[in-house]
Amino acid sequence: MMSFALVAPTLLGLGWPLVARWRAEPAQRLLAAVCLSLIAQYLFGWLVYTLDMPVRRCSPWCRSRSPA
């Protein structure tokens, strides 16, 4: 469960720089940051897959019983 705490910042932090200065309601900024963060993660993962870049299948923090 602790390793899920590492995922949490990626739900907000990747999109935040794009919307931080946007003059909108704070709740709208929050929603935009979450959506853009998820899209950024998709673009990153898609790039890794299509360019056949190496995937480390288990992080130093996870305690997987069955690494991929």
Partner 1 sequence: MFALVPLAIAGLIAWRREFAATLTDPLVRSVLVAQAAVLVWNLSWLAVVRSYSGGGWTGDWYGHWQRCQFFLKRPDVNVLFNGFDPLPSRPPLVNVVVADWLTIVGNEFANYQLAMTAWSSLAFLPTALLAIRGARFMRGGSPARALALLTIFFMLSPMAVQNATFAWTKLPAAMFTLASLEFFLAARPWAGDGMRPVPAILCGVCLAAALLAHYSAAPYAIVLTGAWLAGGLWTGRRTRWLGATAAAAAAGLLLLTTWFGWALAVYGPGGTFLSNTTATDRAPTLALHAAAVAGNVLDTVVPHFLRSLDRSLIRQPSPWGFVRDWWFMGYQVNLLMIFGSTAWLVVLVAGRHSLRRLPAGHVASWLAAVGLLILLGIGSHSGRDHWGVAHICLQPLVLAGLACVAGCWGALAISFRRLLIVGAVLDCVVGIMLHYAVQGFVIDRWLEPDRPIAAFARTYNLTAFDNFIVKRGADWRFVGDTFAERQGIPVAVALVILAVSLWVIRRQSEAANIRSMKP
x-or-dash string of contact with partner 1, 2-21, rule CB under 8 A: -xx-xx-xxxxxxxxx--xx
**Residue 22 binds partner 1 (CB under 8 A):** yes
Report the nearest approach of partner 1 to the CB of residue 51 (Å).
11
In the complex, minimum distance from the CB of residue 41 to partner 1, in angstroms, rounded to a whole number: 5
Residue 51 binding partner 1, by CB under 8 A: no
- Give the DSSP per-residue string, 28-66: HHHHHHHHHHHHHHHHHHHHHHHTT----SS-TT---SS
Alpha carbon separation from 53 to 6, 17, 28, 32, 48 (Å, rounded): 22, 26, 35, 29, 5
Residues that bind partner 1 (CB under 8 A): 3-4, 6-7, 9-17, 20-22, 24-32, 34-46, 48-50, 52, 55-68
